[in-house]
Amino acid sequence: MPKLIPTEKFIEDAEHFRRQPEIIKKIAKTLGLLERNPLHPGLHLERIVNDPTAWAARVDQRYRLSFDPEKTLPAGNPDWSAPLRLLRLLDHDDLYRHPR
C-alpha cells in the first residue's frame, strides 16, 4: 500500500471542490482505491504522454488526478508499493495539458 503525498498544487486544486460534496466523495473514493491498490481497474490508470513520469487516475467522467510514483523498478516500471506524489486534480483536458 503506497503512501499518498499531496503537493501544494494538489491541495489547492482540491480546495476548489470544497463546496461540492458529491465530487469530494468521488475524490475520496479514488484516493482510497489508489492507496489500497494503485492498479485497481476502476482507476482507469493512464500514462500522461507529455510527461515522462506522471500518471492519471479517473475521479469521474469529467475529473482526473495526476500523480508521480516516487520510485521505479530496474526494468523502468513504477514501484507501486513506493509513495505516490499527488500532483494535480483537474478537468480531464486541463490535466493532460498541465499534469504538474
Cell numbers 480531464 label which residue?
92
Alpha carbons 50 and 99: distance in angstroms, whole number: 9
Q: What end-to-end distance do the CA atoms of the chain give, in Å?
A: 23
Residue type at 18 in one-letter notation: R
Q: What pTM value is reported for the model?
A: 0.92
- The 3-state DSSP composition of the chain as helix, strand, coil percent (nearest 5) reads 35, 25, 40
Q: Which domain CATH number covers 67?
A: 3.30.2310.20
Residue 1 is predicted with a pLDDT of: 83
What cell numbers appear for 4 in the block? Answer: 499518498
Domain span including residue 90: 4-71+79-97
- Kindly report, residue by residue over 20-75, the tens digit of the pLDDT: 999 999 999 999 999 999 999 999 999 999 898 999 999 999 999 999 999 999 98
